[in-house]
Homo-oligomer: A and B are copies of this chain.
Amino acid sequence: MKQIFMFILTILTFGSFSVYSQSGTPAKVKVGVILSGNGSQDGSDIYEAAFTILALEKANAEIIMMAPNIPQTNVINHLTKAKSEEKRNTLVESARIARGKIKDIKDVKSADLDAIIVVGGLGSVLTLSDVSAKGAECTINDDVKRLIVELHKAKKPIGSMCLASMMIAKILGAEKVKITIGKNNEKFGPAITAMGAEHIPATSKDMVYDDKNKVVTTPALMGGTSNVDISIGIEKTVNKVLQLVK
């Protein structure tokens, strides 16, 4: 009886997004966030990243930001849109979004996480994968692929947004994963089908949930530039992912 009371009290105190450690004390839900640089044209979109982190902090999650320690495929001057000759490192640039608190993705295992969310931006299709150049025939960064496959096998929820969802379509195409990147985009729509995945049209305010695969996606910037709408869709995605954590 006392145990039941303590259990209810703990739920009331820590909200519905807590899990329980072996000692019985509540532990925060651990959510990995994969970044691909810092800026929508060659890395992670800054607003998508900020709204993801804000929604996770609101829900009292423990956040583990990560990126691969590899050179960015491109560096784009965001003022002129021209390709720059500069060389930048994905982990170092992502650290700007993480205010320095970030891990090399190769050091992160599925066992360290309860869920994962991949932030969008062109870095996801230029550096974390080569979707932009190769479409359905793309390859995915080894560690990004490994971690997502590991989480999927462990039936842990996977969230994704914007172009990053192209990587989820590729990795889980054989599972006929349902994802959204907004409207049926001329460039990416046929690639999603060719990968074996299914595209569900949605707006930036929506999230699309694949029950079987525990995959939650939102169009984010692919659905338009309204940061208000993007923040709404991302908060829905984050909260659905957290709800799916056992």
| Contacts from A to B (Cβ < 8 Å) | 38-41, 45-47, 49-51, 53-54, 57-58, 77-79, 81, 86, 91-92, 95-100, 102, 225-228, 231
Residues in B whose Cβ lies below 8 Å from that of A227: 50, 53-54, 57
Could you list 6 examples of A-B contacts with CB < 8 Å? A46-B96, A50-B227, A58-B228, A77-B95, A78-B98, A79-B95
* Smallest beta-carbon distance A208→chain B, Å: 23
Residues in B whose Cβ lies below 8 Å from that of A97: 46
Compute how far the CA of A100 lies from the CA of B100 in the bound complex, rounded to whole angstroms. Answer: 24
* Smallest beta-carbon distance A28→chain B, Å: 14
Q: Is A57 a contact partner of B96 (Cβ separation < 8 A)?
A: no
User: Closest residue to A77 on the B side, CB-wise?
Assistant: B92
Q: Is B99 a contact partner of A79 (Cβ separation < 8 A)?
A: no
* Smallest beta-carbon distance A101→chain B, Å: 9
Compute how far the CA of A30 lies from the CA of B112 in the bound complex, rounded to whole angstroms. Answer: 46
User: Closest residue to A87 on the B side, CB-wise?
Assistant: B86
* 3 closest residue pairs by CB, A with B: A39-B96, A50-B50, A78-B95
Residues in B whose Cβ lies below 8 Å from that of A78: 92, 95-96, 98-100
Q: Is B54 a contact partner of A79 (Cβ separation < 8 A)?
A: no
